[in-house]
């Protein structure tokens, strides 16, 4: 089996990949994540997932490299990571009572052959009606400023949801494991 590289510095993605009980290393790609003019969210996350994987191919020429990127979409607007309390508060106020789609781009690159499997997995969160006090309490408790959509689904953020829909809940955290297993199996990786 070729060695696995996770093209990410995200502790959330690392934790998810550990569930598969496969040995892997992490390396952080240095790419520009700015959306291209006219690029929609799905095109963006597919392109960035592949770009992250290909950015590491020269350093890891005989590896399977996993790239992933996520965008949240609310009323056709792409939401990025809030990075601070003010922007996180705005994102959650805007999501209150609405449905927000999370698109996670996934790429498995065989750096030896240059072949890439690329997909986008959608997961939708239907938010409860959130008042200012609830939003403030949540943000103070969990400080999800590095998370698209301003919440951590694997933590207290689930208390903000009315319901969810999608094929793979791990995609909401940033690495769709069900689809990744399909890709790994196509590369003949034995999954325990």
Question: In the chain, what are the domain boundaries?
Answer: 4-186
Helix, strand, or coil here: 172?
Answer: helix
Of 69, 66, 10, nearest to 44 by C-alpha is 69
pLDDT per residue as tens digits for the range 35-80: 899 999 999 999 999 999 999 999 999 999 999 999 999 988 888 8
Residue 24 pLDDT level (bands cut at 50, 70, 90): very high
Residue tagged 């770009």 (tokens): 51
**CATH 3.30.70.1400: does it fit domain 4-186?**
no
Q: Taking residues 105-121, what's their average pLDDT? A: 98
Query: Which among 166, 163, 188 has a CA at the least distance from the CA of 178?
Result: 166
Which residues are part of the catalytic machinery? Answer: 69
Token pair belonging to 182: 């399909």
In this prediction the pTM is 0.91
Which residues lie below 8 Å from residue 166, measured CB to CB, with a gap of 6+? 121, 122, 123, 124, 172
């Amino acid at each position: 089996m070729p060695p696995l590289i996770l093209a990410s510095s995200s502790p959330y993605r690392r934790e998810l990949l550990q569930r598969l009980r496969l040995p892997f290393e992490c390396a952080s790609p240095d790419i520009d994540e700015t959306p291209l003019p006219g690029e929609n969210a799905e095109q963006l996350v597919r392109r960035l997932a592949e770009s992250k994987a290909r950015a590491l191919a020269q350093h890891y020429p005989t590896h399977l490299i996993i790239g992933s990127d996520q965008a949240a979409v609310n009323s056709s607007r792409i939401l990025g990571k809030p990075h601070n309390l003010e922007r996180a508060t705005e994102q959650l106020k805007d999501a209150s009572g609405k449905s927000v789609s999370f698109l996670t781009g996934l790429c498995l690159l065989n750096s030896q052959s240059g072949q890439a499997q690329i997909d986008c997995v959608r997961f939708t969160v239907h938010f409860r009606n959130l008042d200012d006090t609830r939003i403030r309490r949540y943000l103070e408790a969990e400080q999800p400023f590095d998370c698209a959509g301003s919440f951590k689904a694997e933590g207290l953020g689930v208390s903000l949801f009315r319901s969810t829909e999608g094929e793979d809940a791990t995609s909401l955290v940033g690495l769709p494991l069900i689809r990744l297993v399909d890709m790994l199996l196509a590369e003949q990786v034995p999954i325990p």
